[in-house]
Amino acid sequence: MLLAIDVGNTNVTIGVFDGQDLAHNWRLASMRERTADELGIFVTRLLEQTRIDAASLSGIAIASVVPTLTRPMEEMCERYFARKALLVDAANAGMPIRYTPAGDVGADRIVNAVAAWEQYGRELQVPLIVVDFGTGTTFDVISRGREYLGGVICPGIGISADALFQRAARLPRVDIKKPASVIGQSTVDAIQAGLFFGYVEMVDGLVRRIRGELEQGDQAVVIATGGLAGVIADETTSIRHVAPDLTLHGLRLIWDSNQAGG
């Protein structure tokens, strides 16, 4: 069994794999001041609730984009599970990185690329575009030859909503969801229309431009992941698949490849 941990700026997502199957998964808030002991208590309790014996874990893989949580996570693995975690980066992911410098690519973006290729690219032999709706909205491009080519980073939809609320005195905070129409007939409706349909058009527009620069871009398959993927994807014309657990599966694949390689 493998414990997979994705440490993001907004959430920490935790999954337990039984072989290739994601048996359990949880989402916690990314409180950056948490200590190794706090993290250890959280994770051990989650395992206890699902009757998973910590001793049955064969390994732990971590993708982290929050430096202040990376070391506490590693300490937690050593102290509570007597395991040295595999901390995923450009050097051990097993995918060629065409980015300068390669170490600047977020671990989550690399992990998503690996998982997308295995799930969609390998069989079809086509380029891929992965759209991750997280704290930031990222677009990652993988060539048909299984190379990470780079991508686009945009403010996330939640950041945009918070910015409106914080910087405009008369605008309220709103839930991010599809409104009844583009023409809002209340302030809440108008904000929701701008956020929702604005991001739909941003996704389709950027995908169109990426396709234009990508070799065989017209054949590229677009995969969405992240917390808001299910909200936005159905309204776009470009997203073909929604894979909410893509990052966790990527961690499993990279763990497996590292074990096979010694």
CA distance 62 to 69: 11
Catalytic residue, candidates 18, 37, 53, 108: 108
What residue type is 8 in one-letter code?
G
175 belongs to the catalytic site: no
Sheet holding 21-29, edge to edge: 21-29, 11-18, 2-7, 59-64, 86-87
Residue 153's SS3 state is strand
Largest Cα–Cα distance of the chain, in whole Å? 61
* Beta strands per DSSP E along the chain: 2-7, 11-18, 21-29, 59-64, 86-87, 128-133, 136-142, 148-155, 221-225, 241-242
Residue 251 near residue 14, CB atoms below 8 Å: no
105 contacts 99 by C-beta, under 8 angstroms: yes
Query: Catalytic residues, which ones?
Result: 108
